[in-house]
């Protein structure tokens, strides 16, 4: 089998790239190791930057997002029994973020690209390795129905996540890896209860971080910082709600609506960057090339910016025979990646309990007091949270 662009992974980044290229007449084939039902059912991020929202509209999959998504013009930061709001539009020339779940984005992309446009996605067809990526005809070796097959492409996009084969197909001495593991995790609960506030609440407390988020007006997602060796089995629903309320300012805690869990899980936090993100005609995008802590809501949004740069580089090649944007893809994408890694590290360090030293917490409170009381501080946070602008190409 042959195609122009072979894509490994049918998550939002792989589907978005395929959809954008399809609209420009470029053929793709997506290989996915899991079933369609599994991919569509994954519960992931819910806050998207304006740049990603605009990219989804460009892909002609933004109609339901614009109808059902929740526009947020700010966030709240709780500390020292205070609740301070950071307004986005006044500090970012009108930019906002939108709460619209990754599950919904995946559903919209599947419907548009597969069901309506007939895009080719092979589910339960795990890629084994990428070969000949330094030639003009790279090949993806994959398995399907117990048989070994190959997909020959002009280019390969590795959108297959941190554990995928795209990055693993490159010799380790060709990649520089930067990693940081954080000594805590997030215990999260999903429940059909109204959110405690109309906008997200980030909490710094002496007992640890907490986050009040949502998926809709009637479905909420809450998190509390926990130890890495903690287990979901250690937590009842009542224990979780009690711990969440303990970390909120009293006037906020009393407005929390509790309910049974739909899902509860513990997520470790870590940062990871692989350099470069291009190897001949193999390109990494999304979690295949970088991971960020969820504190700043950058993971899915970074994947979108990778796709923005990669799509435009491929279009320049197919439409105008230009190779300069392909040559610059890794450098351009990584500039934005590292800025997001920096922001997520800073925001995580600012809000989480780092140790048992009371001075550390007092210093965090002092920084939060400065941050929320300073125009420069509020602007810095707002600019990074709504998303730094994409670089434009001539």
How confident is the model over 158-201, as pLDDT tens digits?
999 999 999 999 999 999 999 999 999 999 999 999 999 999 99
Assign 165 to helix, strand or coil: helix
Active-site pick, 100, 133, 202, 317 = 202
- Residue 72 catalytic? yes
Q: Does some domain include residue 201?
A: no
Are 240 and 258 in contact by the 8 Å Cβ rule? The answer is no
Residues 228-257, mean pLDDT to the nearest whole number: 98
Poorest-pLDDT segment among 140-144, 215-219, 318-322, 343-347: 215-219
Active-site pick, 22, 294, 347, 353 = 294
- Residue 385 catalytic? yes
Q: What confidence tier does 394 reach under pLDDT thresholds 50, 70, 90?
A: low
How confident is the model over 362-381, as pLDDT tens digits?
999 999 999 999 999 999 99
Q: Does some domain include residue 195?
A: no
How many angstroms separate the CA atoms of 63 and 19, rounded?
15
Closest CA to 304 of 123, 74, 31, 61: 61
Q: Does some domain include residue 153?
A: yes
- Residue 182 catalytic? no
Are 225 and 208 in contact by the 8 Å Cβ rule? The answer is yes
Which residue segment(s) compose the domain that 279 sits in?
A: 5-51+64-70+102-178+270-353
Q: Does some domain include residue 389?
A: no
Find the CATH number of the domain harbouring 129: 3.50.50.60
Q: Does some domain include residue 256?
A: no
Closest CA to 177 of 270, 268, 272: 272
Q: In whole angstroms, how far apart are CA 14 and each of 17, 194, 204, 284, 300?
A: 5, 32, 35, 11, 12
Are 32 and 125 in contact by the 8 Å Cβ rule? The answer is yes
Pairing of strands 290-291, 261-275: antiparallel
Assign 213 to helix, strand or coil: strand
Residues 337-354, mean pLDDT to the nearest whole number: 97
How many angstroms separate the CA atoms of 156 and 266, rounded?
33
Total tally of structural domains belonging to the chain:
1
Q: Which two tokens stand for residue 255?
A: 């407005």
Q: Does some domain include residue 132?
A: yes
- Residue 195 catalytic? no
Active-site pick, 298, 352, 353, 361 = 298
Q: Which two tokens stand for residue 342?
A: 């920096």
Q: Does some domain include residue 127?
A: yes
Q: Does some domain include residue 156?
A: yes
How many angstroms separate the CA atoms of 342 and 109, rounded?
30
Residue 46 scores a pLDDT above 90: no
Closest CA to 222 of 251, 252, 246, 202: 202
């Amino acid at each position: 089998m042959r195609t122009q662009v072979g894509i490994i992974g049918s998550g939002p980044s792989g589907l978005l790239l395929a959809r954008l290229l399809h609209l420009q007449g470029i053929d793709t084939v997506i290989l996915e190791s899991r079933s369609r039902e599994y991919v569509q059912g994954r519960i992931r991020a819910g806050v998207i930057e304006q740049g990603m929202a605009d990219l989804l509209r460009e892909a002609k999959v933004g109609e339901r997002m614009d109808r059902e998504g929740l526009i947020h013009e700010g966030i709240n930061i709780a500390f020292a029994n205070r609740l301070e709001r950071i307004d986005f539009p006044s500090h970012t020339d009108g930019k906002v973020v939108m709460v619209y779940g990754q599950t919904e984005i995946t559903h919209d992309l599947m419907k548009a690209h597969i069901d309506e446009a007939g895009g080719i996605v092979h589910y339960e067809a795990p890629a084994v390795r990428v070969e000949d990526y330094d030639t003009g005809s790279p090949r993806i070796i994959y398995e399907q129905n117990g048989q070994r097959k190959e997909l020959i492409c002009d280019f390969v996009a590795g959108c297959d996540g941190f554990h995928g084969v795209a990055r693993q197909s490159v010799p380790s001495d060709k990649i520089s890896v930067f990693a940081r593991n954080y000594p805590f995790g997030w215990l999260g609960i999903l429940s059909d209860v109204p959110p405690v506030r109309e906008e997200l609440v980030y909490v710094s407390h002496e007992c640890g971080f907490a986050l009040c988020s949502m998926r809709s007006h009637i479905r909420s997602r809450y998190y509390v910082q926990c130890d890495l060796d903690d287990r979901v089995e250690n937590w009842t629903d009542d224990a979780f709600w009690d711990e969440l309320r303990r970390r909120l300012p009293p006037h906020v805690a009393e407005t929390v609506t509790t309910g049974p869990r739909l899902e509860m899980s513990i997520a470790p936090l870590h940062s990871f960057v692989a350099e470069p993100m291009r190897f001949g005609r193999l390109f990494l995008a999304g979690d295949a090339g970088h991971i960020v802590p969820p504190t700043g809501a950058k993971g899915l949004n970074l994947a979108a910016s990778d796709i923005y740069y990669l799509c435009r580089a491929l279009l320049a090649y197919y439409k105008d025979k230009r190779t300069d944007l392909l040559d610059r893809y890794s450098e351009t994408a990584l500039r934005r990646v590292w800025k997001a890694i920096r922001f997520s590290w800073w925001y995580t360090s600012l809000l989480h309990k780092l140790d048992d030293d009371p001075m550390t917490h007092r210093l965090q409170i002092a920084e939060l007091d400065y941050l929320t009381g300073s125009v420069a501080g509020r602007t810095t946070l707002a600019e990074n949270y709504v998303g730094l602008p994409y670089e434009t190409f001539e």
